[in-house]
Amino acid sequence: MTTLLVTNDDGVHAPGLQALAEAIQQFGTVEIAAPSRNQSASGHKKTLFDDFNIEEVTLKNGMSALSVDGSPADCIAVSAMGLRPWPVRMVVSGINRGENMGQDVTYSGTVTAALEAVIHGVPALAVSLSNRDADTVEAYAEAARVAAAVVKTMLNQSLPPFTILNLNVPEGKVKGIRLTRQGVRIYRDELERDGNTIRIVGEPPTGKTDEAGTDLWAVHNGYASITPIHLDLTAHQFMADLAAWDLSV
């Protein structure tokens, strides 16, 4: 029996997770392990040498889930270490409330949960919806449909080691799927300060949507984008230039 593990960074009771879990039930048994609370922009955080709680919960649709008081990456790590059946055939992370494109992937708990999965030898897909106001299961229906189509294909294919697929779905009816590279995000963060108390706020990021072939271009034009992402962060094209530097000691 095929087993798939679903996680997210919006929290175990988020509607996007429920929509995703329901959509991929057609492919086998769905296990769920997700953060107990919102962990958006947590990045690839892993909790070491510190206690955190777990709890078995029931979602509104009756599905059972492991609620983890930790990061999305923690959810995958503890699943791999015995708290869920392992290895699973695939990890599917999402559906995130808001897109994860360009440099977002380094911040995103949705994406880094998928990266944690491939560290443990399991292929993974990260799924995000370009609608930051989506707050019902129904609002994620189209994204869940697209995600299920990608999962179906992935189950019959293989990915290179340490490589995930990052799927971003536009709001509304999807025109199709485009294979893309990462685009360039423009962040509009601002600092609020009240004495020694500070907070990072600001408008959602924008980006360059006129560069054909990028994730931002695809989503802006109504297409779902699929970007392959891998954990080798080496700037290979820069290696020859770097070798010419005088780095002797």
Half-sphere exposure of 236 (CA within 13 A, CB side): 2
- 89 vs 155: CA distance, rounded Å: 8
Q: Tell me, what CATH number does 44's domain have?
A: 3.40.1210.10
Residue 54 lies in a domain: yes
- 148 vs 155: CA distance, rounded Å: 11
Structurally, the chain folds into a number of domains equal to 1
Query: Which ranges constitute the DSSP H helices of the chain?
Result: 15-23, 72-78, 104-107, 109-119, 141-154, 215-220, 239-243
Residue 248 lies in a domain: no
pLDDT at position 39: 94
- Return the HEC string of 147-197: HHHHHHHHCCCCCCCCEEEEEEECCCCCCCEEECECCCEEEEEEEEEECCE
Residue 168 lies in a domain: yes
The model carries a pTM of: 0.96
Largest separation between any pair of C-alpha atoms in the chain: 63
Residue 249 lies in a domain: no
Residue 64 lies in a domain: yes
pLDDT digits (tens, 9 = 90+) for 11-59: 999 999 999 999 999 999 999 999 999 999 999 999 999 999 999 999 9
Contact 218, 178 (CB under 8 A): yes
Residue 150 lies in a domain: yes
Low-confidence ranges of the chain (pLDDT < 50): none
Q: Residue 220: which domain range?
A: 3-243
Tokens representing 142?
């189209």
Residue 33 lies in a domain: yes
Q: Which residue, 90, 152, 93, is CA-closest to 121?
A: 90
Residue 104 lies in a domain: yes
pLDDT at position 238: 97
- 168 vs 6: CA distance, rounded Å: 17
Residue 33: strand, helix, or coil: strand
